[in-house]
Chains A and B, each alone.
Chain A
Amino acid sequence: DTGVSQNPRHKITKRGQNVTFRCDPISEHNRLYWYRQTLGQGPEFLTYFQNEAQLEKSRLLSDRFSAERPKGSFSTLEIQRTEQGDSAMYLCASSRPFRGLAGGNEQFFGPGTRLTVL
């Protein structure tokens, strides 16, 4: 399977602990996105990378959140000092380079990491 993979699939942690999630995009996809989806809601954009450069961050991404993509391949999302409000599904998506109006590059999503903060 060459789709987007995310690990772990589920994470339960206690408030105040740090957690780290990993996303492996489809190979040759240079763009990688992180979204957060709370229960019963649509996903919300957090941040995106083009290769190893983090080019945009949502204001949802507080100082406790940090994302990296060190070699332009896999990415990690770390949440420090977790709070109960961080409980959500964290989705990763990847896409090919954008090629203009005719491109319409599709974002392919991973299965997500469900975080529960007790």
Chain B
Amino acid sequence: AQTVTQSQPEMSVQEAETVTLSCTYDTSESDYYLFWYKQPPSRQMILVIRQEAYKQQNATENRFSVNFQKAAKSFSLKISDSQLGDAAMYFCAYRSDKAAGNKLTFGGGTRVLVKP
């Protein structure tokens, strides 16, 4: 079974600065997807960024970028130019490309606090 680990329960960042969230995962599969989801307080979870394991190039979405290290099974998220609206729980998630249903396996989450 796949597992996803987020070792940082909470990270604090100054507005306009950069913060990096860590995520490691364990799998024996070669084809899979990795995701970062954002869950603001009392609001629904939204997808921040997605990485296909077969792609070597790291995904970027505006101020959000990932560092995908397939051999090390590491998938970190960098938030640049942090804004107050970035404050939320961030979850790293894994999805097999072979298993039926494509369910998501989530890490425990990292709370991001943004200081004005």
Residue ranges of A at the interface with B (Cβ–Cβ < 8 Å) = 3-4, 31, 33, 35, 40-45, 48, 50, 55-56, 91, 93, 95, 98, 101, 104-107, 109-112
- Across-interface contacts of B50 in A (CB, < 8 A): 104, 106
Nearest CB in chain A to that of B45: its residue: A109
In B49-70, the 8 Å CB interface with A consists of 50, 52, 54
Please name 27 pairs of A and B residues whose Cβ atoms are closer than 8 Å in the assembled complex, sorted by A.
A3-B44, A31-B102, A33-B103, A33-B104, A40-B108, A42-B4, A42-B6, A42-B91, A42-B93, A43-B91, A43-B104, A45-B103, A45-B104, A48-B101, A48-B103, A55-B101, A56-B100, A56-B103, A91-B45, A101-B31, A101-B52, A104-B33, A104-B50, A107-B47, A109-B45, A110-B44, A111-B43
**A111 and B106 within 8 A (CB):** no
- Across-interface contacts of A91 in B (CB, < 8 A): 45
Nearest CB in chain B to that of A105: its residue: B102
Known: A43-B91, A98-B102, A101-B54. 8 other contacts (CB 8 A): A31-B101, A35-B104, A42-B91, A45-B103, A48-B101, A106-B50, A109-B44, A111-B44
* A5 CB, nearest partner CB in chain B, Å: 10
* A110 CB, nearest partner CB in chain B, Å: 6
* A25 CB, nearest partner CB in chain B, Å: 13
Nearest CB in chain A to that of B43: its residue: A111
For the complex of A and B, the 8 pairs showing the least CB-CB separation, nearest first, are: A42-B106, A109-B45, A45-B103, A111-B44, A48-B101, A56-B101, A109-B44, A42-B91
CA distance A93 to B91 in the complex (A): 15
**B109 and A42 within 8 A (CB):** yes
